[in-house]
Copies of this chain bind each other. A is one copy, B any other.
Amino acid sequence: MLEPKPEITYSDLIFNPIGIISSPYKEKFGIPRQPGLVTEAQATLTLLPPYNQPETVRGLEQFSHVWVIFVFHATHDQGWKPTVRPPRLGGNARLGVFATRSTFRPNPLGLSVAKLSAIQVQGRTISLVLTGADLLDGTPVLDIKPYLPYADALSQASAGFAQETPPAMQAVSFSALASAQCEQQQARWQTNMRRLVEQILSQDPRPSYQQGQPQGRVYAMRLYDFDLRWHYTPAGIEVLELSSN
């Protein structure tokens, strides 16, 4: 048997972002809990100097998907916790942080796979258009790696409580006002806004501990440059408005 290493000290490791994310998600609340659940969402990863050279992404167009290793910048000053309460378990069970993808990690590193929809090169502005990413606007990116199906796609892997895709729990309907606003916003953002809103809200962004609570409260999340407002009815979620202010 291999002996475990004795305690070692290691000098600090310093990393620099190689890119930055622009995304419709302006706050943590409402972001899907895993990538791929909201396929209408598009994000842009723009390379920062000195990495903004066309050479660094040469050949990347041969890959349909990429891994993005990023920093949980919105929560990383809150430190880590040995255990967390995963939403998949209703928020009732505590699991070790390394058994979850919680943001409150010893090193606040995130790992997401996204569809690589386009690579845009305009002089020194080099951007990857990513579809289905669950990334907050302004996220610093540390690395991009090609997705290799022969090594990464382990369809036989088992994952206990997290084996299956989370079911879309909620039916989503739109008020007349919200429907009209979706049309307007769709033209501005070149996104199927109605489908994007449906995909985000059908996952029910509320924390698990609120999910049994009385209806009536109006919830809001920031999306693009507007507030998306909805409430819960006996028939499911009703989108009230997409309000700019």
The reply on A223 being an interface residue by CB < 8 A is no
Across the interface, do B96 and A60 meet the contact criterion of CB distance under 8 Å?
Answer: yes
Chain A interface (Cβ within 8 Å of chain B)? 1-5, 7-8, 10, 12-18, 20-24, 34-36, 42-44, 46, 48-49, 51, 53, 55-60, 62-67, 69, 71, 82-83, 93-101, 105-107, 109, 111, 113, 125, 127, 138, 140, 142-165, 189-190
Closest to A95 in B: B59
Partner of A143, one of B35, B105, B145, B148: B105
Across the interface, do A154 and B158 meet the contact criterion of CB distance under 8 Å?
Answer: no
Across the interface, do B16 and A13 meet the contact criterion of CB distance under 8 Å?
Answer: yes
Across the interface, do B44 and A4 meet the contact criterion of CB distance under 8 Å?
Answer: yes
- The smallest C-beta distance from A181 to any residue of chain B, in angstroms, reads 19
Closest to A155 in B: B153
- The smallest C-beta distance from A192 to any residue of chain B, in angstroms, reads 14
Q: What is the oligomeric copy number?
A: 2
Q: Which residues of B contact A24 (CB under 8 A)?
A: 2
Across the interface, do A8 and B22 meet the contact criterion of CB distance under 8 Å?
Answer: no
Measured between alpha carbons, how far is A20 from B1 in the docked complex, in Å? 16
- The smallest C-beta distance from A230 to any residue of chain B, in angstroms, reads 23
Given contacts A82-B55, A95-B58, A164-B150, is CB(A63)–CB(B159) below 8 Å?
A: yes
Across the interface, do A150 and B138 meet the contact criterion of CB distance under 8 Å?
Answer: no
Q: Which residues of B contact A1 (CB under 8 A)?
A: 189-190
Measured between alpha carbons, how far is A201 from B13 in the docked complex, in Å? 33
Measured between alpha carbons, how far is A82 from B51 in the docked complex, in Å? 8
Across the interface, do A69 and B149 meet the contact criterion of CB distance under 8 Å?
Answer: no
Measured between alpha carbons, how far is A100 from B151 in the docked complex, in Å? 13
Given contacts A62-B159, A109-B69, is CB(A98)–CB(B145) below 8 Å?
A: yes
Given contacts A58-B96, A64-B157, is CB(A8)–CB(B20) below 8 Å?
A: yes
Across the interface, do B96 and A56 meet the contact criterion of CB distance under 8 Å?
Answer: yes
Closest to A96 in B: B58
Q: Which residues of B contact A35 (CB under 8 A)?
A: 151
Partner of A14, one of B12, B138, B155: B12
Across the interface, do B151 and A56 meet the contact criterion of CB distance under 8 Å?
Answer: no
Across the interface, do A145 and B2 meet the contact criterion of CB distance under 8 Å?
Answer: no
Across the interface, do A163 and B142 meet the contact criterion of CB distance under 8 Å?
Answer: no
Closest CB pairs A-B (n = 3): A62-B160, A59-B95, A58-B96
Q: Which residues of B contact A189 (CB under 8 A)?
A: 1-2
